[in-house]
Amino acid sequence: MKGPLIEFPIIKTKVPLVTKKFNLTNPEERKEYFEAKAGVEIEKIKKYLEENTFIAYLLGKKNSGKGTYTKLMAEIFGADKIGHISVGDLVRQIYKDINDPDKKAEIVEYLENHYRGYISVEDAIDALIGKNQKVLLPTEFILALLKREINKFDRKVIFIDGFPRDLDQVQYSLYFRDLADYRLDPDLFIAINIPESVLDERMRNRVICPKCQAPRNLTTFITKELGYDKENKQYFLKCDNKECDGARMVGKVGDDAGIESIRDRLVLDDKLIKKVMSLHGIPKILLRNAVPVENANDIDDYEITEISVFDHDEQTGKVTAKEEPWIIKDDEGVPSYSLMAPAVVIGLLKQLAKALNL
């Protein structure tokens, strides 16, 4: 890729007089961290949320952290104020529920009252379950399912992950808040920039326990017990779950190809973000997952993602790991630090307060 599609701002999280090194993996210290770094913005947003909400469309490549950022926002403002809808998860859940006669009847009844489209409800459901592969699942059908899900959240802020998903859905998102009955509060787009090298490393190093299916990562999310395969000269993780008896965690099928297995989706995501960022009349927030090494003075060292580097004793076979700052190259080839999720959320909080005119 030659040149950035969108100029994402450099995150500056360092605050004068805040010298404590916070442990960002600890919930209590995260709370103190957010107050120290963005306390003014948090207070303004909390006051706003006493009487108001908003809808936020999360735009980012696969595994860019959309769900993680939403969870951190719920951690800051409370789960009673923040809701998250993953369109992919929603469709998968509907797929399961349709197999239950009672749940299917309720879904069909709702759709018959709220869905409007060019194919029937029955044909749309057939397209959803794959019974009719000649018919594409219409956007109008997705909108009706989204509306149904939003109705469950009462007056919460809604972070929507996975819509718009295609270029032709952008126009729907412009008016979606008006279609969802009471959702007349502001809406905005949140675009996430994450280097492809980060996504590639995350995918290549994903592992799961073959017994309990617990996920981990060989570089950024290791277990307490480690191992070394002498024959294949590979390090591996042992599941922490006592019931799994130290089971060796394994990679997912296809992950060794990294992002090349989702290349088409990444290209589409780039086009989608570019199109959305060109829109007028709707606030836009730009989040950057990595910071150029030359801008390291703008952040604190504990905000940098660390990776595990392994070593082992040839005689005893004991494996040890040490942590090092994760330096990657961004999509323009610039050496950069990958940031911890809370640091990215600082940028979200500051931009959100401005987008809501607080």
Tokens 């107050």 sit at which residue? 35
- Answer whether residue 6 shows pLDDT above 80: no
Strand, helix or coil at 264?
helix
Q: CA 88 to CA 255: how far, in whole Å?
A: 20
- Of the ranges 96-100, 118-122, 167-171, 260-264, which one carries the lowest mean pLDDT score? 167-171
Read off the DSSP letter of residue 330: -
> Do the beta carbons of residue 237 and residue 207 sit within 8 Å?
yes
CA distances from 267 to 5, 196, 271, 321 (A): 11, 11, 6, 36
- Span 292-313, average pLDDT: 93
Q: What is the pTM of this model?
A: 0.86
Residue % of the chain over a pLDDT of 90? 45
HEC letters along 155-195: CCEEEEECCCCCHHHHHHHHHHHHHCCCCCCCEEEEEEECC
- Span 285-310, average pLDDT: 93
CA angle 141, 142, 145 (to 5 degrees): 90
Question: What pLDDT sits at residue 24?
Answer: 92
Question: What pLDDT sits at residue 45?
Answer: 97
Tokens 């990294």 sit at which residue? 258
Cβ-based burial of 229 (10 A; exposed 0-12, middle 13-18, buried ≥19) = exposed
175: Cα separation from own chain's centroid: 23
29: Cα separation from own chain's centroid: 22
Residue % of the chain over a pLDDT of 70? 92
* Fold annotation for 27-81+156-355: Rossmann fold (3.40.50)
Question: What pLDDT sits at residue 3?
Answer: 45
Which residues are CB-neighbours of 276 under 8 A, at least 6 positions away?
57, 59, 164, 170, 189, 191, 284
Question: What pLDDT sits at residue 178?
Answer: 60
Q: Which residue, 140, 340, 318, is CA-closest to 220?
A: 340
Average pLDDT, the chain: 87
- Span 134-154, average pLDDT: 78
Give the pLDDT confidence of 20-73 residue by residue, as tens digits: 999 998 999 999 999 999 999 999 999 999 999 898 999 888 888 888 999 999
- Answer whether residue 354 shows pLDDT above 60: yes
CA distances from 253 to 80, 81, 226, 232 (A): 38, 38, 21, 18
Selected residue with higher pLDDT from 292 and 95: 292
Q: CA 305 to CA 302: how far, in whole Å?
A: 8
> Do the beta carbons of residue 203 and residue 63 sit within 8 Å?
yes
Which residues are CB-neighbours of 262 under 8 A, at least 6 positions away?
62
CA distances from 133 to 91, 107, 119, 126, 144 (A): 16, 21, 14, 8, 21
Give the pLDDT confidence of 211-243 residue by residue, as tens digits: 999 899 999 989 999 999 888 889 999 999 989
Question: What pLDDT sits at residue 179?
Answer: 57
Inter-residue long-range contacts of 306-309, CB under 8 Å, 24+ positions, other chains counted:
306/220, 307/219, 307/220, 308/218, 308/219, 308/220, 308/222
Selected residue with higher pLDDT from 127 and 183: 127
Rg of the chain, C-alpha, whole Å: 22
Question: What pLDDT sits at residue 74?
Answer: 94
Question: What pLDDT sits at residue 175?
Answer: 62
